[in-house]
Structure 1
Amino acid sequence: MIVKFDDGTPITLEQMLLAKEKRVANQLFAITHYQQPIISLCLVIPGAIKNSSGAHYLFNQAIQALHQCLSTNNITIVNEQHYHQITGFEAIISVACQTEQLKKFCIDIEDNHPLGRLWDIDVIDPTTQLSLSRAQFEQRPRQCLVCDDVAKICGRAKRHSLDEIFTAIQHKIIHYGK
């Protein structure tokens, strides 16, 4: 299966920063309104095009994986909002679940689903209004899409070209589709 990541409109850094501010406001609204932990889903898409047919495919797969996990574990979705913008696809899902357990489920999805590395699934505690980190659960930082190093280190150092990264993403999608 070949999906495209170049069939969208490039965005600016300013648009991305404004989208992040809006995401935080949406998260705060969900926490305040529903008083439950939230899952905040974004995609790991490098480059200036964040809303493409490939990103849409990955978002739908992430939603399916989250719904399957929540259903399997009898976790009730209190509210779910999807945001499809030029800056990308996002979801904020309020659930009736203990925050730490929810984070463990989300780490499991990120680490074990064939496409999980392409998703950024944060869990935000309704009391502290802070995102739980992988380190709190003695989990290693996320691995680079291209090599075995820590993703943040490779990203900051710009060790891999966009072509290398998208080749790795396509590889994951192809193997998932088989």
Structure 2
Amino acid sequence: MRSGASRLDLLAARDARHALLVRHAGAGHPALVAVALNVPGEEKSPPGAEPLFRWALDQVIAALPGAWPLHVGDDALGPFALLASRAEAGGAKTACVAVEASHPAARLVDLDVYAPGGTVVDRAALGLPPRRCLLCEAAAGECIRLGRHPLDAVVARARALLADAPA
């Protein structure tokens, strides 16, 4: 989290992002794409985060011709954008998964795709496995739930990825 950002700041940022999504979910876009970073630890915008976010945003826009930003900003959770896409949601998710796999540092990029009405299109819907842990081959969600790795090791790996991120 940013210096001075409290747990309440993080929850407020999450709520504001959700409200933005809800506001645009009924606008008739074939897909909405939320572009964010998933940076472990308290600092959500460490050095390297902004260039990685901008790179990811550019990659998504290139992968989804005709996509346009509805919102681009920064909050207690870090940089965030919401894009509208002319691509149908399944195709948009497939393109986003390719972006997430295109560079080791893109493992920190979080691209969520929503179908009309706000339904999430996740990897499972496309028959894809969940994202891997930053430190091992297991599913990231499993490692997080089980507390399998010390937070300082996960944060150190994320910082190393950010140091080698595309700009």
TM-score range, shorter chain: 0.7 to 0.9
1:160 and 2:149 correspond = yes
Which amino acid is 1:164 matched to?
A: A
**Which of these residues, 125, 138, 151, is aligned with residue 140 of structure 2?**
151
Q: Greater shift after overlay, 113-122 or 92-101?
A: 113-122
Q: Using a 3 Å threshold, how does the CA distance of structure 1 residues 79 and 36 change in structure 2: closer, same or farther?
A: farther
> How many Å separate the matches in 2 of 1:47 and 1:173?
13
Change (3 A) 1:56 1:9: same
Give a deviation string over 1:63-97, Cα, whole Å, max 9, x none: 12212322xxxx20244311212331111000111
Whole-angstrom distance in 2 between the partners of 1:171 and 1:88: 18
Take 1:174 and 1:31, find their aligned partners in 2: how far apart are those partners?
35
Sequence identity percentage: 25
Q: In 2, distance between residues paired with 1:34 and 1:136?
A: 21
Post-superposition Cα deviations, 1:39-81, rounded to whole Å, max 9, x if no partner, equal 01121111222133332222112112212322xxxx2024431
Report the number of matched residues.
166
1:112 is paired with a residue whose SS is coil
Name which of 1, 9, 18 aligns with 2:3.
Answer: 9
Counterpart for residue 69 of structure 1: 63
Q: TM-score, normalised by structure 2?
A: 0.87
User: What is the correspondence of 1:98-113 to structure 2 with a 5 Å cutoff?
Assistant: 98-113=88-103
Aligned to 1:141: 130
Q: Secondary structure at the match of 1:91?
A: strand
Partner in structure 2 of residue 83 of structure 1: 73
Structure 1 residues 175, 122: closer, same or farther in 2, change over 3 A?
same
- Residue 32 of structure 1, CA deviation: 2.6
> After TM superposition, which residue ranges in structure 1, 4 or more long, deviate above 6 angstroms?
none
The two structures, once aligned, show a CA RMSD in angstroms of 2.1
Where does the alignment leave 5 or more consecutive residues of structure 1 unmatched?
Answer: 1-5
Equivalent AA in structure 2 for residue 129 of structure 1: G
2:56 touches 2:109 (CA, 8 Å); kept in 1? yes
**Which structure is richer in relative contact order (CA contacts within 8 A, separation 6 or more)?**
2
Tell me the distance in 2 between the aligned counterparts of 1:19 and 1:173: 23
1:92 to 82, 86, 89: 82
CA distance in 1, matches of 2:122, 2:134: 20
Q: Is the 8 A contact 1:78 1:96 kept in 2?
A: no
